[in-house]
Structure formats: C-alpha cells, structure tokens
C-alpha cells in the first residue's frame, strides 16, 4: 500500500516542480537574452566611438605628416583600438565579431571575451580601417549571477507558497475538517443525528448536503435491518424450538415404526441444521451491522484452553490426536463473545474435515492464532470464505463457519489466511 499523503502536499508538490522546471529553463534563456542585449549595446557603443574618433580627428585638420604621427600615437596609447590604412582589395565594408583574447597586462593567463567592430572611417578624405574592441562580461559570472538570482526567487516562492497554503488550509479547509471530525465520531448505534456546520464554500456545502442524505438513508436502512434481525431472532427461533420439541416427543412415541422413526430423525437433523443456519445468519447480520459494541481486553489464551476442553469429546469421537502450543497471557482488544465464536468455528471446522485418527494442531502466539488439520490435498481457495461454500461434500456444516470467521476478523482488524503445508490445512489469524 502506498504511503498516504495529505491533499495539501499533493496539490503543492506538482506546482513547486513546475515552478522549479520553469526557473531552471529560464536561466539559459535569461543568459541568451542578456547576452543579445549586451551585444547590441556594445555594437552601438563601438559605432559611436568610431564615428566620434573620425569626427574629432578631422576637426583638428592635421596635415598629412601630423596626421600619421597622431595615428601612430593613438595606436600606441589606445590598446583597444587600431587605425590603419586600408589594404588593397578591401571592400570598405563594416563588420562586427566576437573574439577571446588574453590580457596583456595580467601576470597570469586571463582570457577575456571582446566584442569588436571593424569599420571604415575617412580622415582627411582618405579611407582608414578602424578597429575597436570592448570587453564583454564573463559568461561564467553571468550564468552564476543569473542562477543565484533564480535560486533566490525560487526559495522565496517556495517559502511564500508554503506559508500561504498553510494559512489557506486553516481557513479554506476548516469546514471540511469539521465535517471529517464529525464523521469520525459518528456511530449508527448512538441514535443521534449528525449536524454539519453551514459553509459559504459551494463545494463543501454540496458535500454536507450529500452526506446528510447518505447518512439519513443509512440510518433508515440500519434501523430496518436491526429490527429485522431482532424480530427474526425471536419470531423464527420460537417456532423452530417448538417444532424441535414436538418432534422430540414424536420420536419418543412407542407407536412409531422403524421407518417412521428414521423419517422423524432425518427431519430432526434438518431442523437442527435450519436452526443453526438461522442463528449463524443472524450472527453475520449483527456483525456486519456493528451491533457488538463491547470492546475489552480479552485473554485469548484462556479462551483457547476453555474451548479445547469443551470440544475434547469431539476429538475423542473421531479418535483425533490434538496437539497444541498455546502461549500464555496473550491479551487482545476485542469482543470476547465474537472471539470465542472464531475459536469454536475454526476448531470445529478442523474436526469436521478431519478423517478418523487424524491430527489437529492448535498454535497461539502474540502474533497469530492457527488451527491446522491433516489432509491429502489443498482446498480450492476460490471463494473459500464465501457463504454456503463448502470445501468438502460433508453435509454436517452450514457453510457459514468460515464466513463468520472472516467477518469476526474484519471486525477486529485481523487477517485470516489459508495455506496447505506439510500435509496440513492451516487457517491462520494474524493479529
């Protein structure tokens, strides 16, 4: 079974993952956008420098020799720019490009990235090739700054989202939690109505209305079933008891022929079986309707010992060898009457389906209770615990024993499991 998580976690987690993915994708996008802006700005900056340089030199109106001296001086004192006469074949077009170059002034090798412009300027009417280089911010530094900024805002979003969702959970989900708390303590046997607080949230109000209708219907059905089981318990058992009493008197009559006695005996067995089926069906109905409210600390060890002694005659009749390993002082929480029914049904089921001179093992620990009987082949596990399902052709049982065992286990939150090991049919109840 997967781990249970609150609804708030399930709604917040996908949103946070989505935000994280978007922010991670945004880092390279930010870099590309910023880098493109820088390139455009640096290209414009370099064009301004080229135009401004040509304008200022031409404004001084140097003679040719003075101009050449000025160009040489410019090239010597301005390492980021260069002015030289155009070469033969120069198409006199401007171009922009990016280069990586080591710093000449640094003690160690430091490579910088430069945005360059190679433009044609005219000095004293003659064309010159003007080259200017401008340093671009380091790529690693840019990405690191953008990533740090992104992480900061992501953490800010996460913190704000968690804070807001918790606040919203306390206010928006308050009606839902009120409804849930009332449902947890509601009991059909309490004969009390459940009233939900009104909510100004449409979905929660619709939920409360639907729950009111469902609970009203369930209470009505429960009362009808409870009345039926109570009436059946009295009205059906009484005529069955009368029939059995009359039949017993008839069987004791001296005027009965042997054939009549055999017929009456068959009727008596059928009547006993009908009475047992009726009692078992009523017991199943009561368990399913949660009419056993008493929960106490039960000494499971003592109940097992008592039932082994009570059923010792059945072991003797079929010459069954009974061996038990009952751990002392096994305490469980539950209904003592239902637990005794579980023990009796499992032991009687083992006796009923054991052959003459068979073996039965009864094991009790603090973890499980197991009843095993000898056999030759495994049972068909398809619907083994279903009602009126018989593992063998034996007609002595009602076909409800294992169903009752399963319902008792469900009532107590236990598990019942069947297995066939070492030529033994094993029914194990795990606490």
Confidence check: pLDDT of 359 > 70: yes
Sheet holding 321-326, edge to edge: 321-326, 359-364, 368-374, 424-430, 415-421
**CA-to-CA dists, residue 352 to 307, 366, 370, angstroms:** 15, 27, 16
Confidence (pLDDT) at 426: 92
Helix, strand and coil percent figures for the chain, each rounded to 5? 55, 20, 25
Per-position DSSP letters for 116-137, written without gaps between them: EEEEEEEETTEEEEEEEEEEEP
- Mapping DSSP to helix (H, G, I), strand (E, B) and coil, where does residue 370 land? strand
**Own/partner pairs for 150-156, CB < 8 Å, 24+ apart?**
150/23, 150/24, 150/26, 150/27, 150/30, 153/23, 154/19, 154/20, 154/23
Confidence (pLDDT) at 394: 53
98 contacts: CB under 8 Å, gap ≥ 6: 39, 113, 114, 115, 116, 136
Give the span between the Cα atoms of 114 and 91, in whole angstroms.
24
Label residue 346 by pLDDT band (50, 70, 90).
very high
Residue 143 has what DSSP assignment? H
Query: DSSP strand E in 295-341: where?
Result: 296-299, 321-326, 331-334
Burial profile 271-290: b = 16 or more Cβ within 10 angstroms, e = fewer: beeebeebbbbbbbbbbebe
Confidence (pLDDT) at 407: 85
Confidence (pLDDT) at 46: 92
378 contacts: CB under 8 Å, gap ≥ 6: 420, 425
Give the span between the Cα atoms of 114 and 267, in whole angstroms.
111
Confidence check: pLDDT of 1 > 50: no
103 vs 407: which has the higher pLDDT: 407
Q: What is the pLDDT of residues 74-101, one digit of tens each?
A: 888 887 889 999 988 888 999 999 888 8
Least reliable range by pLDDT among 78-92, 130-144, 210-224, 384-398? 384-398
46 vs 151: which has the higher pLDDT: 46
Using DSSP, how many helices (H) and how many strands (E) does the chain show? 11, 11
Q: Strand pairing partners for 360?
A: 322, 373
Across the chain, mean pLDDT equals 83
Q: Per-residue pLDDT averaged across 238-249, rounded? A: 79
Confidence check: pLDDT of 129 > 90: yes
Q: How many CB atoms lie within 10 A of CB 101?
A: 13
Q: What is the pTM of this model?
A: 0.48
Helices 139-171 and 7-60 pack at an angle, to 10 degrees, of 150
- Mapping DSSP to helix (H, G, I), strand (E, B) and coil, where does residue 234 land? helix
122 vs 110: which has the higher pLDDT: 122
Confidence check: pLDDT of 362 > 90: yes
Give the span between the Cα atoms of 310 and 55, in whole angstroms.
121
Confidence check: pLDDT of 2 > 80: no
Burial profile 336-370: b = 16 or more Cβ within 10 angstroms, e = fewer: bebbbbbbbbbbbbbbbbbeeebbbbbbbeeeebb
Give CATH for domain 296-430. 3.30.565.10
Confidence check: pLDDT of 396 > 60: no
Helix (H), strand (E) at residue 263: helix 258-288
Confidence (pLDDT) at 415: 92
Domain parsing of the chain, residue ranges: 1-171, 176-235, 239-288, 296-430
Confidence (pLDDT) at 404: 83
Confidence (pLDDT) at 316: 87
Least reliable range by pLDDT among 137-146, 153-162, 366-375? 137-146
Q: Per-residue pLDDT averaged across 161-188, rounded? A: 82
Q: What is the pLDDT of residues 265-304, one digit of tens each?
A: 888 877 777 777 667 677 777 776 666 667 788 899 999 9
Confidence check: pLDDT of 395 > 50: no
Give the span between the Cα atoms of 278 and 154, in whole angstroms.
68
Confidence check: pLDDT of 391 > 60: no
Least reliable range by pLDDT among 223-237, 336-350, 363-377? 223-237
Least reliable range by pLDDT among 51-55, 252-256, 328-332, 363-367? 252-256
Give the span between the Cα atoms of 187 and 194, in whole angstroms.
9
Confidence (pLDDT) at 196: 85
Confidence (pLDDT) at 203: 85
228 CB-side CA count, 13 A: 14
Confidence check: pLDDT of 393 > 60: no
- Mapping DSSP to helix (H, G, I), strand (E, B) and coil, where does residue 115 land? strand
Q: Per-residue pLDDT averaged across 228-249, rounded? A: 74
Q: Per-residue pLDDT averaged across 237-258, rounded? A: 79
Give the span between the Cα atoms of 408 and 109, in whole angstroms.
83
Residue 395 buriedness (CB in 10 A; 0-12 / 13-18 / 19+): exposed
Label residue 219 by pLDDT band (50, 70, 90).
confident
Query: DSSP strand E in 288-358: where?
Result: 296-299, 321-326, 331-334
Q: What is the CATH architecture of 1-171?
A: 2-Layer Sandwich (3.30)
Label residue 400 by pLDDT band (50, 70, 90).
confident
Do 264 and 251 meet the contact criterion of CB atoms below 8 Å apart? yes
């Amino acid at each position: 079974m997967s781990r249970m998580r609150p609804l708030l976690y399930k709604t917040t987690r996908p949103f946070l993952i989505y935000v994280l993915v978007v922010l991670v994708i945004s880092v390279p996008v930010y870099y590309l956008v910023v880098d493109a802006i820088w390139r455009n700005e640096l290209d414009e900056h370099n064009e301004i420098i080229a135009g401004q340089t040509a304008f200022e030199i031409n404004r001084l109106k140097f003679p040719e020799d003075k101009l050449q001296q000025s160009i040489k001086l410019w090239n010597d004192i301005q390492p980021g720019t260069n002015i030289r006469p155009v070469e033969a074949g120069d198409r006199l077009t401007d171009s922009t490009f990016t280069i990586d170059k080591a710093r000449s002034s640094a003690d160690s090798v430091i490579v910088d990235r430069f945005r360059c412009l190679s433009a044609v300027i005219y000095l004293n009417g003659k064309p010159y090739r003007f080259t200017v280089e401008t340093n671009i911010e380091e790529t690693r530094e840019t990405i690191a700054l953008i990533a740090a900024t992104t992480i900061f805002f992501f953490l800010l979003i996460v913190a704000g989202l968690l804070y807001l969702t918790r606040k919203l959970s306390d206010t928006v989900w308050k009606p839902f939690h009120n409804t849930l708390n009332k449902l947890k303590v509601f009991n059909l046997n309490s004969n009390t109505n459940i009233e939900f607080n009104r909510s100004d949230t449409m979905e929660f109000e619709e939920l409360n209305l639907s729950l009111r209708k469902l609970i009203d219907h369930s209470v009505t059905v429960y009362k009808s079933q409870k009345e039926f089981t109570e009436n059946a318990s009295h009205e059906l058992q009484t005529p069955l008891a009368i029939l059995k009493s009359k039949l017993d008197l008839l069987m004791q009559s001296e005027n009965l022929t042997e054939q009549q006695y055999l017929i009456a005996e068959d009727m008596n067995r059928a009547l006993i079986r009908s009475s047992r089926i009726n009692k078992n069906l009523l017991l199943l109905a009561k368990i399913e309707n949660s009419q056993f409210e008493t929960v106490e600390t039960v000494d499971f060890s003592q109940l097992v010992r008592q039932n082994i002694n009570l059923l010792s005659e059945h072991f003797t009749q079929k010459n069954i060898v009974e061996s038990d390993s009952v751990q002392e002082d096994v305490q469980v929480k539950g209904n003592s009457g239902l637990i005794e029914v579980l023990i009796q049904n499992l032991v009687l089921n083992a006796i009923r389906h054991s052959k003459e001179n068979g073996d039965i093992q009864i094991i009790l620990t603090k973890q499980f209770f197991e009843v095993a009987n000898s056999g030759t082949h495994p049972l068909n596990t398809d619907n083994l615990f279903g009602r009126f399902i018989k593992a063998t052709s034996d007609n002595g049982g009602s076909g409800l024993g294992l169903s009752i065992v399963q319902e008792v286990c469900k009532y107590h939150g236990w598990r019942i499991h069947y297995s066939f090991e070492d030529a033994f049919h094993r029914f194990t109840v795990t606490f």
